[in-house]
Structure 1
Amino acid sequence: MIVNETKLKDCFIIEPQVFNDKRGYFVENYNQKTFKKAVGIDVEFVQDNESKSSKGVLRGLHYQLGSFAQAKLVRVIKGSVLDVAVDLRPNSATFGEHLSVVLTEQNKKQLFVPRGFAHGFLVLEDHSIFSYKCDNFYNKESETGVIYNDETLGIDWTMTEDDLIISDKDLLLPTLKNARL
């Protein structure tokens, strides 16, 4: 496993080792001991989620508040996405900054998104399957987010707004300035 630090503290891009042969491939997507040693963070994942989406679907930017905050380890099983993490930790030197990374079934990269970050992704290929581990259970009452096109964030989603498919709920999310943190 190769762990790459990013410009956002505690947010890592992880490249697992892939073993290929004439039968196909084998990859260990997660190993708690290896992960803890590599990133220096002790995380106990308690929930796995998966979504399948069409090209142009934008999900996010989501996070949970307070004691229901979640760290996530995300990856793509099929297809590709542009994955985005935004640092929302008020005392962080990188507050309001974001990181974008393309995750694909071919590159098998993963992104570790720590607690205190908003997270979202744009689907780049039809029938993409996105998977993520969470270190806390989902709680509807603590769910919130930041609007995907907040000008202060300046995220380049790589598609025109006309090509995006966004839920009504996500279109009503507040700007960073008005978000609950």
Structure 2
Amino acid sequence: MGWQGHSPIWVLNVNVSKSPKTLKREAIEMLENIKTRNKIYDWRVGFVIRFIEDSLSDDYWVDEDTLNTARGRYSGLNVFMYERIAITICNHYVKGEVCKDVSGNLVEADRLIAQTAIDDAKAMDIVNPANENCFDLEIRAAKKQMDMAQDGLGKKYPQVAIRHFEQAWLRTLKAAEYAQSEKKVCGRGR
């Protein structure tokens, strides 16, 4: 908050986090806005949009932030795969500043997906204390994948970052298995 002359100026920093699905919808909107009347160019843009739309399929989502694992981990893996393909096609065939913005949105969406999975796993109660060490190892591995994703972004490789967010998500699924199992499912003497 500050004063300038006699008029009060209020400065509020509000960080409203968008959901992964919202970020993806915004990426689609960015692409829709660059369409021209050139059939070939618009077809390429449409091709990128279709992959992002495929990643938004309701079959893959529980809510705006969480991927559905009820159909197995492969349904979630499809989301990450579609986004990597969309970024690759955009960079090779559409090009331009919009691809950087679209990549940024998709990478941030995947970061949020992975972080939500980590947070959800950490909030779980571990049913069998014998699985706690393996649970902790998987959570640490997921966090390491998150760090590696940031390294990939620093080197301007969004597809690599998405792959690491995908791996972080997979590690949290494994951690959740350990947490929910009544049997000893990790370590020696299973």
TM over 0.5: no
**Whose strand fraction is larger, Structure 1's or Structure 2's?**
1
**Whose helix fraction is larger, Structure 1's or Structure 2's?**
2
Give the TM bin, normalised by the shorter chain.
Answer: under 0.3
Structure with the bigger RCO (C-alpha within 8 Å, sep 6+) is 1
